[in-house]
Structure 1
Amino acid sequence: MRNNVIFSMLGIILNTIIPIITYPYVTRVLGVDSLGIYNFYSSASTYLILLTNLGISIYGIREIGRFRNNVKQISRIYFELLSINLFMCLLALCFVIYVILSIANPKDSFIISWFYLSVLFTCVGADWFFVALEKQKYLLIRNVIVKLLSLVSIFLFVTDRNDLLIYVAIISLSTILVSCCNVYSVLRFVDLSECRNIHCLRHIKQLMGIFIIDISYRYLGLVDVILLGIWGSKWDVGIYSVALKVVLLCIQFFNVLATTLLPRSSFYINNSEFLEFEKLSRKSVQLICFLCVPLVIFVFYCAHYIIYFLGGADFKDSILALKILSFSILFAILYNTIIFQILYPLGRIKSIIFVNTTGIIVNTILNYILIPNYHYIGIAYSYVITFIISLIIICIINIEDVKFIFTHRMLSYLVASLVVFVFNLLVFMDTILLVALDALIYFFVLYCMKEEFCVNAILYINGIRVRFLRKNNN
């Protein structure tokens, strides 16, 4: 299980590094206009994937995870969800054909066709099936190979401004190759005879629930940015978006923990192993607090380094926005973990939808009040406040389901954070040195309080040191 989390996080790192490598090259070669066309259709395909997926990615992980040891059940669920997904892609195809026929430019039609193929093969590939079976190692190896092939292809074949179509084809072909690998691999885990015994409609009600959750969860960081453009200015959007991307990357990195552990949580609940479920969820929340508190400190105090690295001096106004948004990291990750690792496996769909809807209403009201007067700073405060309120509400109305995660160990993170905060008020020094000292103080306080992860980390490092010394002595 620990390895699956590591493999998932390595996958996130890989998906982050490859664009960082290719983006500067592609920007220079293709130019602003071509890149703008690509980004427009790429964004459109992302929304098309969201609509055609219908929440299947999350729902499929839970359902396959529940019956992971029953080949007939997982085969039936796989074929049912795949059929629903293909039907949605067929509906999307009607829309895509209409768009293509409405466009006179054959170049745009070519790009739309390739992106639709990406949508279709993303559906057929069904990554969620392998996540549900905890095959993250396979997913990582597959992604490394395909990403490297696409990386080499971009540098070999995309050489001037006229190569936009080649670039689109390479990106789409990488998705197609990934999906073909999945289709070949999935045959080892399913019983093909079960494709005759499917009943797709039994999933629709629950799929609509998770689809609403998915849509409402994506409101923050998407629709609120649109509101900033309406009630503020395009300059505000540009400044805010850079800071938001940093925070979303941090959140995404840790959110993979909840997705990775969702099938195991669902399996425990389905088999009435509630003590194991509580133990897993408790450790997950403790690990998040253990790692996210220093991450918040790092992002807050190194905001100017991060912004200058990503956007340069032109985006210096993003520094304050990033400092404000940094406080949302811990609350957003805890909120996501409680939803997808605890409440969703327990089937608390209505509760999740209610809290997400409440969060949207609160965020919209705050944006309406704050954006006209405080612009991008206002929306940053609104973002943080929304997650704090949502986290409090979801814990209160589901207290019987989540109370087991609140242990005395949580106090150790609060104490360590307060010690670091007081230290920073009393000491003035270079930022890098200050952050390094903050980390040492934070982990030292936790070690003194016998915090589990900190003690285990020290023992693990000490074990490596002992083995290294023994090897050298021999």
Structure 2
Amino acid sequence: MKVIKNYLYNAGYQILLMLAPVITTPYVSRVLGANNNGINTYTNGWVTFFYLAGQLGISLYGNREIAYQRNDKFKRSKTFWGIISLQVATSSIVLITYLLAVFLFSSAFKTYFLLQALWIIAYGIDISWYFMGMEDFKKTVSRNTIVKLITIALIFVLVRNQSDLAKYIFLLGFAQLAGSFTLWPYLKNNIQWVSIREWHPLKHFYPALLLFIPTITTQIYLVVNRIMLGRMAPQAAVSQFNFGDNIVKLVLAVVTATGTVMLPHIANKFASGDVKGVRESLYKSFDFVTAISTPMMFGLMAIAYKFAPWFLGSEYGPTGGVIFWEAPAILMIAWSNVTGTQYLMPIHHEHEYTISVTIGAVVNIVANIFLISLYGANGAAIATVISEFAVTAVQLFYIKGTIRRRALFAPIWRYLLSGLFMYIIVSRINLIMSMTIINLALQVALGIFVYVICLFMLKAPILKQAKALIKK
């Protein structure tokens, strides 16, 4: 039940993340315009590499290590002080390097690059990994919810026209920084002070670095699309791709919330030698993410072309194509979230995980070179799907000796067939209906109804999980 509760906390926050853009994105896309939104996307893409370098792989490493030491307060405290001191030191070095790079090499957008530096500071003091390792998601979710709501209000108050781009970038970075600060008071009763001589931060450097490699590699093929578009296409195309990609990823966030919750849970099972429990958790998790990601994928594809210009404005008509072509990545990422984040990472198979995401990054860059020049923003979306497929395929190859892949995929056809039938009906309805908030709600409700009915008719395994949850 604790895992379910944590998932609901995390999924609830991910739903808030979905609702926030529903409120702010139509406003920001129109007020700032496609060009200014493209500048924000481009400059934030560059700073992403820096703040990830400062944090190393501590977000994943700290989560896992705290989960291992959860039941021993002294060891847990010693691990925390060692990891956070390393994180602050590396982030400080990266911040200095970033500022020097901006002053020496940036002629255009210098002010915006400097404002983006807030993200480096925010991640340098972020300790959400500690509470995730403790499987205490309530604190991080509560903190992030309050900060997110305040940020939304300030965007509407302070961002009023195209000259307010600097204010918008500052608000986003400051919100992240404020969120990181507000977690520190919760440490008071969770850890104890440990002598500095006991911290040994450097002992965490190498294992965190091993997790940094897949983290930064993953970001390469998440951010490189925007950077390559910025070099090969107008800034408006960057903005059009970015909003489409964000919509897909926000829907996906409800699915990947399982990875954040399951990583410390499985790490704790693995540390206690419960191999059978690890496998059973993975089979159920794979079935669950497939069941919820399939209708999300087909649903977005069904409404994409009418939804984008209605939601974002007429400037963003091409975003509909981005959403349509990138939607299959939802299913690919859902699967790799189980095989990679929920299995390979907790059981110390970082090497295999690193290889999979490295291959994905290489495939993404090569695909972008050819597809962006041919299809622009749509090409970047297709490249994303191809790279995510490569990651999933490699990870499935690596788990073949311990996890029965046939058991994972046996019920998949039921979900895909149900989703396809839902897509046909919703897309037909979408063609004849104008796009309004009421019509959109009706299409979503119809899609859910059709999908659930199909699951019952095909006797999908997820229904057994739902029945067991209701009984509990």
Q: Does 1:341 align with 2:337?
A: no
Task: State the alpha-carbon separation in 1 of the partners of residues 45 and 365 from structure 2.
Answer: 23
Closer, same or farther: CA 315–176 of 1 in aligned 2, 3 Å: closer
Give the equivalent residue in structure 1 for 2:91. Answer: 89
Instruction: Tell me the residue number matched to 1:470.
Output: none
Asked if 2 retains the 8 angstrom alpha-carbon contact of 1:447 and 1:455, the reply is no
Cα offset, 1:66, TM superposition:
1.6
Provide the residue aligned with 1:467 in structure 2. Answer: none
- Cα–Cα, structure 1 residues 335 and 84, in superposed 2: closer, same or farther, change >3 Å? same
* 1:351 counterpart = 2:352: yes
DSSP-derived class of the 2:125 partner: helix
User: How many angstroms apart in 2 are the aligned matches of 1:420 and 1:392?
Assistant: 22
Q: Is the 8 A contact 1:121 1:175 kept in 2?
A: yes
Letter in 2 for 1:356: V
Q: Deviations over 1:320-371 (max 9, x none)?
A: 3322221221012211221111001111122122222222233333334444
Residue 463 (structure 2) aligns with: 454
Does the 8 Å CA contact 2:255/2:292 hold for their aligned counterparts? no
Question: Partner residue of 1:277?
Answer: 278
Deviation sequence 1:383-421 (CA, Å, 0-9, x none) = 223322332222123312332x6427x433313433654
Which amino acid counterpart does residue 362 of structure 2 have in structure 1? I
Q: Distance in 1 between matches of 2:391 and 2:38?
A: 35
Distance in 2 of aligned mates of 1:80 and 1:15: 32
Structure 1 match to 2:436: none
**Root-mean-square deviation over aligned CA pairs:** 3.8
- Aligned: 1:442 with 2:444: no
C-alpha distance in structure 2 between counterparts of 1:437 and 1:109, whole Å: 47
Task: Specify whether residues 139 and 231 from structure 1 end up closer, same or farther in structure 2 by C-alpha distance, changes over 3 A only.
Answer: closer
Amino acid aligned to 1:300: M
Secondary structure of the equivalent of 1:402? coil
Partner of 2:364: 363
Alignment-derived partner of residue 411 in structure 1: 410
Q: Which amino acid aligns with 1:148?
A: L
Residue 26 of structure 1 deviates from its aligned partner by 6.2
Q: Kindly tell me: are residues 337 and 74 of structure 1, through their superposed partners in 2, closer, same or farther at Cα, counting changes over 3 Å?
A: same
Paired residues for 1:236-247 under 5 Å: 236-247=237-248
Deviation digits for residues 167-222 of structure 1, max 9, x if unmatched?
66665554444333322111211121254312222222221211110111122232
CA–CA separation in structure 2 for the residues paired with 1:441 and 1:27: 33
- 1:290 aligned partner, one-letter code: A
Cross-structure match for 1:288: 289
Write out per-residue CA displacement over residues 221-262 of structure 1, whole angstroms, 9 at most, x where no aligned residue.
321343345456656545433432222222333222102211
Q: Which runs of 5+ in 1 are unaligned?
A: 465-474
Greater Cα offset, 19-28 or 380-389: 19-28
Q: Structure 1 residue 76: deviation in Å? A: 1.3
**Cα drift, residue 41 of structure 1:** 5.9
**Structure 2, unpaired ranges of 5+:** 431-439
- The percentage of counterpart residues that share the same residue type is 22
Assess if the C-alpha contact under 8 Å between 2:148 and 2:175 holds in 1: yes
In structure 2, the partner of 1:9 is: 11
Q: Where do 1:47-446 residues align within 5 Å?
A: 47-95=49-97, 98=100, 112=114, 116=117, 119-153=120-154, 174-193=175-194, 195-230=196-231, 236-403=237-404, 406-407=406-407, 410-418=409-417, 421=420, 429-431=428-430, 439-446=448-455
The structure with more radius of gyration: 1
- 1:5–1:257 CA contact under 8 A, matched in 2: yes
Q: Is the 8 A contact 1:289 1:413 kept in 2?
A: yes
Separation in 2, partners of 1:292, 1:170:
32
Instruction: Please say if residues 332 and 392 of structure 2, whose CA atoms lie closer than 8 Å, have aligned partners that are also in contact.
Output: yes
SS in 2 for 1:387: helix
State the TM-score, normalized to the length of structure 2: 0.82
SS in structure 2 of the partner of residue 430 of structure 1 = helix
Q: For each residue in 1:113-151, what CA deviation from the matched residue of structure 2 results, as whole angstroms up to 9, or x when unmatched?
A: x75455334322311111111111122222233333444
Q: Taking structure 1 as reference, are residues 274 and 312 closer, same or farther at Cα in structure 2, changes over 3 Å only?
A: same
Q: 1:102 to 1:454 in 2, by over 3 A?
A: same
Judged with a 3 Å threshold, the aligned counterparts in structure 2 of structure 1 residues 369 and 316 are, in CA distance, closer, same or farther, namely same
Query: What does the per-residue CA deviation read over 1:3-56, in whole Å, with 9 as the maximum and x for residues that have no partner?
Result: 111111222232343454345666777889987876666555444321211111
What secondary structure, in the 3-state scheme, does the structure 2 residue paired with 1:221 have? helix
Amino acid at match of 2:360: G
Q: How many pairs are equivalent?
A: 459
Structure 2 CA distance for partners of 1:163 and 1:182, relative to 1, 3 Å: same
How many angstroms apart in 2 are the aligned matches of 1:2 and 1:398?
A: 25
CA contact (8 A) 1:76 1:195 kept: no
Distance 1:204 1:239, change over 3 A: same
Asked whether the equivalents of residues 258 and 337 of structure 1 are also in contact (C-alpha less than 8 Å), the reply is yes
- The question of whether the paired residues in 2 share the 8 Å contact of 1:72 and 1:194 is answered with no
SS in 2 for 1:120: helix
**Counterpart code for 2:23:** I
1:368 and 1:397 map into 2 onto residues whose CA distance is 28
Contact 2:7–2:258 (CA<8 Å) still a contact in 1?
Answer: yes
Quick one: distance in 1 between partners of 2:344 and 2:41?
35
CA deviations over 1:286-336 (Å, ceiling 9, x no partner): 110111111111011111232123333443333333222212210122112
Over 3 Å counting, the alpha-carbon distance change for 1:303 and 1:68 in structure 2 is same
